C-alpha cells in the first residue's frame, strides 16, 4: 500500500479552498482523508494500477493540477503508510516528492538517526523523557526493549513507540470530508513587539470573522490561532468553543485566551491569523441563555452594526478600540 501525504502551501486567507483541493485528490483515489487546515492523506492502493503510474508520477500530476487550477503549490511525501508519508513530507520541498521505499531495509535507513520528536504522535514531554535516558534517535528507540519504553512512558505509548520506531504503522487512511472553515489574517507593517497591538489585531480578526459568519447565517464550533514570527516560524493553537457561535465577543474572548496561553515574552510577531472551523447553519444550533444584560446589549448592538455595515460598507461601524 502506497500513501501520499499532501500539504498545500495555503495562506490563512485561502484555507477555505481546502474542500476543492480535497475534491481534486478524489479524482485519483476514492480514499482521501482531509487533515485541516492544509493537508490530506491519499491511499494510492488501486490508483497506481488504474493509471499505470507510480507514486512519484501521480504526485507530479497532482502538483501540476493544484497549481494550474487553484494557484496552490504543495509539498508531497510518499511511503508505505500514513506515518512514513508524513515524515517524508517534512523533508520534502515544493516541486520534489520525497519517497520512502516499502522494503524494510530502506525504511530502517530512513528512520535511523532521525530525532525521536520527528515521530508523529510523540509530544514534547515524551521526547524529553526519552532523551533524558539517551533515547534521542529513532534507531536507539528501536533497539531498546519494549518493556523499557513502557516503564519510561505508559504501556500503550511504549508499545506504539517500539513498533513505530521500527517502521510498523497500524494506522490507515480513513475517508472523510474537509471541515468547512473561514479565516482572516493581519500582517503587521513591521515585526511587532507590543502586546496591545497584538490584542488589537485579534479583536479586528474576531470582528471580521463574526460579521462574516452572521452575514452567512452560520456559527463555528472552534477557533484556531496562528502566530507567525520574524524568523518565519509559526505557533498554532486551537480551542473548542463552549457552544457554536458567531458572536464577536465570544470569538474575541477565545482568541485572547489562546494568545495569553502562549506566554509570549517580547516576541517579534510578523502576522496573526484566526480561523473559524466546524461551520454550520445557525438554524438548529442552541444558545445557552445567560440572563446577563451586558451580553444581551452586546448582541443587540451587534445586530445594529450588521445592518449598518450591510447598507454603508464594512467600515461603517467598528469596535471603539479599532476606531483609531
Give per-residue pLDDT as tens, 220-253.
999 999 999 988 788 888 899 988 988 988 999 9
Give pLDDT, residue 178.
Answer: 67
Give pLDDT, residue 324.
Answer: 63
Give pLDDT, residue 182.
Answer: 82
Q: Helix/strand/coil (H, E, C) string of the chain?
A: CCEEEEEECCCHHHHHHHHHHHHHHCCCCCCEEEECCCEEEEECCCHHHHHCCCHHHHHHHHHHHHHHHHCCCEEEEEECCHHHHHHHHHCCECCEEEECCCCHHHHHHHHCCCEHHHCCCCCHHHHHHHHHCCCCEHHHHHHCCHHHHHHHCCHHHHHHHHHHCCCCCCCCCCCCCCCCEEEEEEEEEEEECCHHHHHHHHHHHHHHHHHHHHHCCEEEEEEEEEEEECCCCEEEEEEEEEEEECCHHHHHHHHHHHHHHHCCCCCCEEEEEEEEECCEECCCCCCCCCCCHHHHHHHHHHHHHHHHHHHHCCCCCCCHHHCC
Identify the CA nearest to 61 among candidates 102, 29, 34, 108.
Answer: 29
CA distance 15 to 89: 19
Predicted TM-score (pTM) of the model is: 0.64
Give pLDDT, residue 292.
Answer: 66
Identify the CA nearest to 203 among candidates 241, 252, 168, 242.
Answer: 252
CA atoms within 13 A on the CB side of 198: 26
Pairing of strands 280-281, 234-245: unpaired
- List the beta bridge partners of residue 281: 218
Set of cell numbers at residue 112: 535511523
Tens-place pLDDT, residues 7-61: 998 765 566 677 889 999 999 999 999 887 788 999 998 888 889 999 999 999 9
CA distance 62 to 24: 8
Which residues of the chain, if any, have pLDDT below 50?
Answer: none
CA distance 32 to 29: 7
Cβ-contact 236, 159 below 8 angstroms = no
CA atoms within 13 A on the CB side of 196: 2
Amino acid at each position: 500500500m502506497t500513501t501520499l501525504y499532501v500539504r498545500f502551501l495555503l495562506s490563512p486567507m485561502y484555507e477555505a479552498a481546502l474542500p476543492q483541493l480535497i475534491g481534486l485528490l478524489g479524482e485519483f483515489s476514492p480514499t482521501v482523508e482531509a487533515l485541516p487546515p492544509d493537508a490530506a492523506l491519499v491511499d494510492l492502493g488501486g490508483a497506481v494500477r488504474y493509471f499505470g503510474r507510480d507514486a512519484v508520477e501521480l504526485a507530479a500530476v497532482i502538483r501540476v493540477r493544484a497549481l494550474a487550477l487553484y494557484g496552490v503549490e504543495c509539498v508531497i511525501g510518499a511511503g508505505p503508510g500514513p506515518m512514513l508519508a508524513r515524515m517524508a513530507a517534512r523533508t520534502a520541498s515544493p516541486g520534489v516528492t520525497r519517497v520512502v521505499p516499502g522494503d524494510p531495509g530502506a525504511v530502517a535507513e530512513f528512520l535511523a538517526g532521525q530525532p525521536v520528536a520527528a515521530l508523529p504522535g510523540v509530544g514534547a514531554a515524551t521526547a524529553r523523557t526519552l532523551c533524558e535516558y539517551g533515547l534521542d534517535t529513532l534507531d536507539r528507540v528501536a533497539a531498546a526493549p519494549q518493556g523499557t519504553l513502557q516503564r519510561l512512558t505508559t504501556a500503550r505509548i511504549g508499545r506504539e513507540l517500539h513498533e513505530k520506531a521500527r517502521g510498523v504503522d497500524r494506522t490507515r487512511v480513513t475517508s472523510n470530508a474537509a471541515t468547512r472553515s473561514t479565516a482572516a489574517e493581519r500582517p503587521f507593517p513591521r515585526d511587532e513587539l507590543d502586546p496591545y497591538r497584538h490584542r488589537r489585531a485579534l479583536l479586528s480578526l474576531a470582528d471580521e470573522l463574526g460579521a462574516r459568519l452572521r452575514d452567512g447565517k452560520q456559527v463555528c464550533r472552534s477557533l484556531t490561532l496562528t502566530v507567525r514570527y520574524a524568523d518565519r516560524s509559526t505557533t498554532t493553537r486551537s480551542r473548542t468553543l463552549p457552544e457554536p457561535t458567531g458572536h464577536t465577543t465570544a470569538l474575541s474572548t477565545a482568541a485572547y485566551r489562546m494568545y495569553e496561553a502562549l506566554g509570549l515574552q517580547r516576541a517579534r510577531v510578523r502576522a496573526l491569523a484566526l480561523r473559524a472551523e466546524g461551520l454550520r447553519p445557525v438554524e438548529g444550533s442552541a444558545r445557552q441563555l445567560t440572563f446577563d444584560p451586558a451580553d444581551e446589549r452586546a448582541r443587540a448592538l451587534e445586530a445594529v452594526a450588521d445592518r449598518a455595515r450591510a447598507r454603508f460598507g464594512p467600515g461603517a461601524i467598528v469596535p471603539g478600540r479599532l476606531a483609531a
